[in-house]
Amino acid sequence: MATVLGPKDFATATPSWWCAGCGDFGVLAALKQACADLALEPRNVAFISGIGCSGKISGYLHSYAFHGVHGRALPTATAVKLANKDLTVIVAGGDGDGYAIGAGHFLHAVRRNPNMTYIVMDNQTYGLTKGQSSPTSMLGFKAGPHPEGNPDAPVNGLAIALAAGGTFVARGFSSEPKQMTEMIKEAVRHPGFAIVEVMSPCVTFNKINTYKWFKENVYHVEDIADYDPADRARAFATLMQPGKIPLGIFYRELRPTLEELTLAKESVPIASLAIERIDPKLVSLQDAYA
């Protein structure tokens, strides 16, 4: 009889160092619930994360895990997926890791469409390094480097993803666990690159974009009677509309994944090859640099 796993089976013994009340706790809870609901097993999940407060999340989910360096979570995850396409690959990071130092990798991961899920925890600040403004900080946001106010316009990560050819584009709010769990499940099920941006308040350094502020400044596209997530133009217009922040699944489409286009069906996955079977050419090349 098969063992049914629950959210607790995806928890680790590693104590969290997130601040009490951090929005990332909500993301982690939804992620564990989603993995359980999807009947995934830890041995079949690879969780890759970047740098920042959110990057620690890979240590809190029981699975294969890789805590990468600044901005490099997505290329690492792409390599993992190509090495073993049978793994469920989930990537996580913050707005700084994904939209600043990792922006180039983000753009190309979207257009390549590898079959993985990317969760971006957006708190509009660099919480790990004492609250500087991030790529998504509001114009005029006051922080240490510019006490007079942030002079840079915020980046719209989801609009960029859509423009780059994103096949699943969604946004949730960490204070809405049920909606976020369902959204993550849909993202994991999606055959292609799925980005889920999560509004995840920083309770320590961002005193503007608080839980209360978000609750007063978000709305759900599911409440719009004629909204169609297959309408790319409508999705882009919704994401670019000034004012309140939309939540929900904005767009989804099916097109060939990176694995389908680059991996021969008869090829043996790299992960299944014996370590001893190393091409002699590679050995001689390595020796040349010894």
Local mean pLDDT, 10-residue blocks, the chain (290 residues) = 81 91 94 96 94 88 90 94 94 92 94 97 86 85 82 93 97 95 98 97 92 96 95 97 96 96 71 67 70
Give the integer Cα–Cα distance in Å for 168 and 138: 25
**Percent composition of the chain: helix, strand, coil (DSSP 3-state, to 5):** 40, 20, 45
Amino acid letter, 153:
A
Strand-pairing partners, residue 89, are 46
CATH number of the domain at 107, please.
3.40.50.970
pLDDT of amino acid 284: 76
pLDDT of amino acid 148: 87
Q: How far is CA 170 from the centre of its chain?
A: 11
Domains: count for the chain: 1
- Full residue range of the structural domain in which residue 162 is found: 7-288
Strand order from edge to edge, sheet including 245-252: 64-67, 45-49, 88-94, 116-122, 193-199, 168-173, 245-252, 218-220
The rounded radius of gyration (Å) of the Cα atoms in the chain is 20
Q: Are 87 and 114 in contact (CB under 8 A)?
A: no
Asked if residue 243 belongs to a domain, the reply is: yes
pLDDT of amino acid 278: 63
pLDDT of amino acid 276: 66
Asked if residue 2 belongs to a domain, the reply is: no
pLDDT of amino acid 122: 94
Give the integer Cα–Cα distance in Å for 41 and 34: 12
Q: Are 93 and 102 in contact (CB under 8 A)?
A: yes
Asked if residue 208 belongs to a domain, the reply is: yes
pLDDT of amino acid 147: 84
Give the integer Cα–Cα distance in Å for 96 and 17: 19
Asked if residue 1 belongs to a domain, the reply is: no
Asked if residue 87 belongs to a domain, the reply is: yes
Pairing outcome for strands 88-94 and 116-122 = parallel
